[in-house]
Amino acid sequence: MQETAPFAPPKSTGGPESSFPKLLLGVAIVIAAAIGAYFWFATPKPQTSARRQPHLPFGDTEHAYAPKIRFENIALSRAENFAHQEITSLSAELVNQGESPLKTVEITVEFSDEMSQVVLRESRILFGGAPVPAGGRREFEVSFEHVPDSWNMQQPLVRVTGIQFK
């Protein structure tokens, strides 16, 4: 009976044919990394609304006037938009109890969780048109697209963080 050795592939001599696939793979990885780096660094990054929107002045004069601004009839509502995202809207009435007309007012809205920790803080500028006269009031509504699920479903804190007088 004749014995046969198990099949063994021929031994590589280390010539140029055996290193070609490794070289090709290395070049492909370098090209992919270069393309990835280009798109990472060369494409503009989206800016958040806080960076695009400048803050209004809030120096000593504005800080002293802020307690003369009240918010009444605060109401919250939630709805789903066409993209199936939940939108939370806050509507209220700003009351100017001071002696100066207000051109614009910046508010900061803070949503908290069950442990009274802030889970969302956003600033918005109100009233770009006619000023709110001294002793006057103006309704407003602001919407929030991404209120975290950890929000305690209680009324958020609304405070004045900037004022521009007429």
In order of their start, the domains of the chain are 49-165 (2.60.40)
pLDDT digits (tens, 9 = 90+) for 100-114: 999 999 999 999 999
Q: Of 95, 97, 126, nearest to 109 (Cα)?
A: 126
If you ran DSSP here, which 8-state letter would residue 154 be given? S
Question: Which stretch of 35-39, 45-49, 118-122 has the lowest confidence by average pLDDT?
Answer: 45-49
Phi, psi torsion values for 147, nearest 5 degrees: -80, 125
Q: Strand ranges (DSSP E) for 41-100?
A: 69-80, 86-96
Q: Is the pLDDT of residue 46 over 50?
A: no
pLDDT at residue number 76: 95
Phi, psi torsion values for 10, nearest 5 degrees: -65, 145
Three-state DSSP state, 67: helix
pLDDT at residue number 120: 96
pLDDT digits (tens, 9 = 90+) for 58-99: 889 999 999 999 999 999 999 887 878 889 999 999 999 999
Q: Is the pLDDT of residue 52 over 80?
A: no
CA–CA separation, 89 vs 116, rounded Å? Answer: 20
CA–CA separation, 156 vs 140, rounded Å? Answer: 15
Ordered alpha helix ranges (H), 43-129: 49-52, 60-65
- Across all residues in the chain, what is the average pLDDT? 85
pLDDT band at 10 (very low <50, low <70, confident <90, very high): low
63-94 burial, b at 16+ Cβ within 10 Å, e below that, comes to eebbebbeeeeeebeeeeeeeeeeebebebeb
Single pTM value for the model = 0.65
